[in-house]
Chain A
């Protein structure tokens, strides 16, 4: 979408549909971290470290589970952030790369999200100027994706 086309404001209940839509497998769930705008920076960092440590033979006690099977092919942990969380995500990348000495790849892109505007719930009917029927609007949002490479040994 061109920057000059400003999106028109719509009065209604704004329902944001999620951008992360694909059903993920168990391994994907355990190796992907999604940064939300409400995620505190340090807790995100701690949780990512916890994920990374599971694969590290020298730290974890449960070595067998994460060294074999489907986990064997896992090369990196994915951290994703979109919109206003890009800054937090890049901060995480910085910390992991420079302080924890992980190899971090940064990928950028944009993702299509859907906004739904529904008529407001009111027993007296919708207020003046509000929409009567549900309106959909697509929007492009930038995102970054980090690949934090595992240290297995």
Chain B
């Protein structure tokens, strides 16, 4: 039956026209009621049928995450449980066969000709020679290519020991050479290195070029709520190979100069997560694992400060260094089932009952808990499996046992040594090969890994070219969730942690980042039509993008020098040197605009600093030719009403006067854990605690009161 007829049939409602209940002018009530109930029933049936006949195809009722582009004609794109229905639906629809296009015919003819040619070449056992190229010049070219290859081999490059093309790219006491990647795409990777999972991510994520890498930013599908939910009940995985690692010799004095380690960190029982210091100044958040047994220390840090740190250590301490940016990769796992997920794909070379036992429990380990062991190639098992637990252990005993680390020193030695890492790639097979021959001969079965808990997640550190196989295997686990840089930021925000760079505006790297964000948003904004470019009129001299700390610094110090500013003066006034005097807000705006130098002008409030003390008391003097850095302090708040975005402005009392400006919001938005709008911001340190503050979003005039938390 064709579809039109079917719909017509389902929409007709059966009725009894000649009513038998009405006979000879008398109405038989029971019969009448019976007939009406029949009508009502058939009306209901018709409604149900209509709904069913007009129903969508089966793949259209799937949740967004299970929908696929080609599901309408390729049943393999539909989940298995719905395939039968999908096949039936496909058979129902009348598909007319398309005529072959001329291009298709041409391609078929060409392939036929090529096949003929190939068979002829095979018969002659030689390749036809291009008569136009001179033989001598051709030989010369080939010789040059060979010489090139030989010279590149001698350049500190280990010999390839696998068909995957994996090799250990470590710079010993110098920065490592950027990997060129696949020859086909090498031009695109000249400035921004691709992660090993790049091609996988490019199909599913928005990517961003920063700090010499192409970094997954966020999935193309909407995931704000699902990320929050998955972090509470499942696992979210992040490829964080763009975080840079270096390995240096174990030296307690160097370590104590760089971080503030505890005894268990120095002994190698725990990893360190916290501030890294250069010349006693905090510069960034780092992860450090010291191994006195191996005589090495691993340092993993954000790519924005890596090169500075590398050069600092090399020049100041003179210890042996390995630049492992492109030889160690990492995957971060967030959520209570993180360890269970890893358990499903890890097949450990030695029996470690403690690790297997972890799969049954919620993750409740303290930051710093570290494990290290060797695993087998995860691709040798077709599916993720729950490992059989041979001996049950109490969870509390596990926590106590793991607090002193679960370290296999041999794995650490292998992981921290360039040759050891290169050896892990021995006979590494391609996935294609493994799918053809699931149990190939000569397989190498020892991949060293380091698994450590940071303040927010489990961090898995593996040799660079093992990231992709592990990543692909993790993706086979059902209900695993994915995230990029934005999701890491979201989770930090929801759990009340500061995210590195954005929420530390007083650090030089964060300052550069803020300046860059301002430029990018400005460029994007300038492309909008004039009617949508109305921000400036609300900003009263502030930059319309990002946090304008320079304006705030000058506003506070100049107001201190010249006293309260008037709103407006009819005429500008000049002193004897023909320098415009600052008497009004307009004068201030002119002054700031003409003297912008875009240099870091803020620092974190330090109660021991003598200037900061006098700044909070208000008994300091200002030299306008050399302004000091503005001390700022953090505020965390909720918003009872209204909305909040990043870079909102913070005012004292009300936002009607620009003189009331005291700070900026670094991260703001809806916090799903609190169920409210919330934010993190910084304000000038002279504002006493408990002052009433309001915020105003960029490009708006509406202000909202905030509640400090």
Contact = CB atoms under 8 A, between A and B. Distances in A.
A24 to B, nearest CB: 8
B362 A132 contact: no
A144 to B, nearest CB: 21
A112 B399 CA distance: 13
A133 interface: yes
Contacts of A119: 262
A5 B365 CA distance: 28
Interface in B366-421: 366, 394-396, 399-400, 403
Interface string B334-346: 0011001000000
A72 interface: no
B475 interface: no
A132 B263 contact: yes
A116 B260 CA distance: 21
Interface string A12-33: 0001011011110000010000
A138 to B, nearest CB: 6
Contacts of B12: none
Contacts of B336: 23
Contacts of B233: 29
B576 interface: no
A41 interface: no
Contact of A23 (B262, B263, B340): B340
Given A15-B366, A23-B336, A114 B396 contact: yes
B619 interface: no
A138 B361 CA distance: 18
B366 A116 contact: yes
A94 interface: no
B400 A136 contact: yes
Contact of B260 (A118, A123, A132, A133): A123
Contacts of B400: 114, 136
B263 A133 contact: yes
B444 interface: no
B262 A138 contact: no
Interface string B307-344: 00000000000000000000000000000110010000
Contact of A21 (B260, B263, B366, B395): B395
Interface in B216-256: 233
Nearest to A17: B364
Contact of A17 (B263, B337, B340, B399): B399
Given A119-B262, A132-B263, A133-B263, A18 B399 contact: no
B362 A17 contact: no
A133 B264 contact: yes
Given A29-B233, A134-B403, A136-B400, A21 B264 contact: no
A139 B217 CA distance: 45
Interface in B353-368: 360-362, 364, 366
Contact of A22 (B360, B366, B394, B396): B360
A43 to B, nearest CB: 13
A23 B399 contact: no
Q: Which of A15, A123, A132, A133 has the most CB of B within 10 A?
A: A133
A17 B360 CA distance: 16
Contacts of B366: 15, 116, 118
Contacts of A118: 366
Contacts of B362: 18, 20-23
Nearest to B479: A26
B361 A23 contact: yes
Interface in A50-76: none
Contact of B364 (A21, A133, A138): A21
Contacts of A136: 396, 399-400, 403
B359 to A, nearest CB: 8
Given A23-B337, A116-B366, A138 B263 contact: no
Nearest to B232: A29
Interface in A66-123: 112-114, 116, 118-119, 123
A23 B358 CA distance: 10
Contacts of B262: 119
Contacts of A112: 394, 396
Interface in B248-300: 260, 262-264
A76 B456 CA distance: 36
A126 to B, nearest CB: 9
Given A123-B260, A134-B403, A17 B361 contact: no
B360 A23 contact: yes
Contacts of A17: 364, 396, 399
Interface in B31-51: none
A134 B361 contact: no
A29 B232 CA distance: 11
Contacts of A123: 260
B342 to A, nearest CB: 14
B260 to A, nearest CB: 6
Interface of B: 233, 260, 262-264, 336-337, 340, 360-362, 364, 366, 394-396, 399-400, 403
Q: What 4 pairs between A and B have smallest CB-CB spacing?
A: A114-B396, A21-B395, A136-B400, A21-B361
Given A20-B362, A136-B396, 9 more contacts: A15-B366, A17-B364, A23-B337, A23-B362, A112-B394, A116-B403, A133-B264, A134-B264, A134-B403
17 contacts: A17-B399, A18-B362, A18-B364, A21-B361, A22-B362, A23-B360, A23-B361, A29-B233, A114-B396, A114-B400, A116-B366, A116-B403, A118-B366, A133-B263, A133-B264, A136-B396, A136-B399
